[in-house]
Amino acid sequence: MQLPPGTYNTSYSQDMAVVRTRLQWVLLIVFLLFVFVAIPQIANRFWLSVLINIAIWIVATQGLNILLGYCGVPSMGHAGFMAVGAYTTAILGARYDLPFWVAMPCAGLAAAAVGAAFGVAALRVKTFYIVLATIAAALIIQYLISLFPSVTGGPMGIVVQPAKIGGIVLDHAKDFYYLAMAMAVLGTVFALNLARTRVGRALVAIRDNAIAAEAMGVNILLYKTIAFGICCFYAGIAGSLMAYYMMFVNTDLFTFDQSIWLMGTVLIGGAGTTVGPIFGTTFIQLLKQGIGRLGPKLVEAFPSVGAGVIAAIAPAVFGLVLMLVFIFEPRGLAHRWALFKAHYRMFPFSS
Amino acid sequence: MTIFFQLLLVGIMAGAVLGLTAMGFILIYRCSGIFNIAQGELVAIGALLCFAFLNGLNLHPALAIFLAMLGGALIGLLLSRFPFGPLTGQPMLALFIVSLGLLVFLRAGILMVWGTRDIGYFRPFLPQGAIDFAGLALYPRELFGFGVAAALLLVFLWLFRFTRFGLVLRAVSEDTRIARSLGINLKVLIAVAFAIGTAVAAVGGVILGLTQGITTNLGDVGLAGLAAVLIGGMESILGGIVGGLLIGVVTAMASYYIGHGFGGVAAYVVMLIILLVRPYGLFGQERIERV
């Protein structure tokens, strides 16, 4: 970490500190207070739903970022693994009446197990082959869900009971917001720390040069499978959150398009950084929800243009943004943020 | 047993379209290293263009198909300038992501122009009734599609083996940098490859539209086409065709014998199994990597 002028690390604990300077502490506490205290007070229904969506997506993209950003393995089946988590939650919650604090970790573990099983097969192949293998994984999961309608409800889906903590039922957006945001913060902290551990460094080594990493004693298949498992665990948790938020699960929530959006979000934010998924998710979700909110007004303003056209604006803009980001800033929004921080730190000597 | 052969026939005819999709894809991949996942949407655009020329403007079928091909080629030329133009020499993953953005963009663009509804069928220009072929039912539209696919395959095999263009193309796919230093204009070559690749995709779209009817989500065939590419191996045009036929047959058989829902998944199951045994596909070259 680059430090402001005049600040030096003089001990190991200082060198390893995540939050190093007083200003960072202040900013962090202000940010957390803002997120957990101020926003629930001031946000209306629309903004709460936007923020809950952002929180759920941050969990999913942080997971994908561990695989894609740190390990360099693309996965286009993320939504499929989210579906595993969501259905596990729904089945455990609705059929077996398990409380949410059992169902959610189980959802994560189930997704991780399915992911690791596919991973062992998929990770033997490289780059583009993995892309198709993960797409295949998501399609097979969807097929399996539709194959057992007695368990999964088939196309009707399953109704999910709202989550309960103690005596509090999280059936209002405001209550659920705390849970979703807490999971997003937890997921981010875990991802941040994972990158600094032995596992995280092994993953980065595999991404940067697989053969050199192997020569250094990194078991590539093992670590890739671990990364895949962690990635799918996050997906399972995100899917579980989604199930509790929508109070309903069916396969239409987890399509191939969703996987593309998730992957694009990580890349627009900046793969391989912890802030990247947060930036990407916030940007993309604001864009999506903003256009979604603008849509009805546009339909009113231009009645001759069909509603289908308006609905296609969001993906069109997303596709365009994805292309432009890769042409002009391949390292994503996180790189811009790093440049801004460097500029701020060096001021007035930065150019 | 008749049913088995009938399914085999249906599968081969359906596989021809996948083979065409795969062929266009491999052509672009070999020249530019771009894993163009948006190929399926180019197929859809081909079908939609042909529909517009054939039903909208009431042109002669041959002219309409030719114009759809031309339109596809033009789109390909545009694509080689934007978004792929400024990205020459970027890592493969970056190129892939850009093509992913292109996929989302084209899909949305198709919805914007043509809407979400089913569009209909081509104005019939082939005889409708089934031909009796040794006890099996064979539709002229399937025969037409298979014939076109086979003809295009032969043309391409000839092009690659025996012409200067093919030689240049093989040189570039072998080693881009050396090929460039020998005076090959990479920009022009990539543009040409894109034009041909998308034109082939457009023809695939026309054939697909003949058998399935025109909808705006015809582009979904792209994924099955990619599975065909990976089964065959990314470098080999012949492999793509074989992969396409294999997927077509497997899909037809699985839909009938196992269950309709399994048809769509069977292709990917076969692909996963083949990748486990031969990670580089049936006809692909195994690359030896050095640090």
Backbone angles phi, psi at A123, to 5 degrees: -80, -5
CA B213 – CA A115 distance, rounded (Å): 37
CA distance A108 to chain B (A): 25
* Predicted pLDDT at A186: 95
With H, G, I as helix, E, B as strand and everything else as coil, classify residue A249: strand
A307 touching B, CB under 8 A? no
List, for residues A73-103, the tens digit of each pLDDT value. Answer: 889 999 999 999 999 999 998 788 888 888 9
Q: How many residues does chain B have?
A: 291
A148 touching B, CB under 8 A? no
Interface A:B, Cβ pairs < 8 A: 139
* Predicted pLDDT at A307: 67
Q: Which residues of chain A lie closer than 8 angstroms to B83, CB-CB? A: 323-324, 326-327
* Structure tokens that stand for A97 in this block: 């009446």
- By the 8 A CB rule, do A260 and A322 touch? no
Closest Cα in chain A to B265: A140
Count of C-beta atoms within a 10 Å radius of residue A113: 15
A316 with B112: Cβ contact below 8 A: yes
Q: pLDDT at residue B246 above 90?
A: yes
Of chain B, the end-to-end C-alpha distance in Å amounts to 54
- By the 8 A CB rule, do A85 and A111 touch? yes
A221 touching B, CB under 8 A? no
Distance of CA B263 to the CA centre of its chain: 19
Q: Please tell me which residue, B41 or A174, carries the higher pLDDT value.
A: B41
ipTM: 0.87
CA B5 – CA A47 distance, rounded (Å): 59
List, for residues B111-140, the tens digit of each pLDDT value. Answer: 888 876 677 888 887 777 777 777 788 888
A309 touching B, CB under 8 A? yes
**Domains of chain A: which residue ranges?**
43-346
A292 touching B, CB under 8 A? no
Fold of A43-346: ABC transporter involved in vitamin B12 uptake, BtuC (1.10.3470)
Helix (H) or strand (E) holding B15: helix B2-32
B230 with A323: Cβ contact below 8 A: no
B116 with A308: Cβ contact below 8 A: yes
* Predicted pLDDT at A351: 62
B96 with A321: Cβ contact below 8 A: no
Q: Please tell me which residue, B38 or A153, carries the higher pLDDT value.
A: B38
For the residues A199-209, what does the mean pLDDT come to?
A: 92
**% of chain A beyond a pLDDT of 70:** 98
- Cis amide linkage into residue A149, ω under 30° from 0: no
List, for residues B191-227, the tens digit of each pLDDT value. Answer: 999 999 999 999 999 998 888 888 888 888 888 888 8
The helix, strand and coil proportions of chain B, stated in percent and rounded to the nearest 5, come to 75, 5, 25
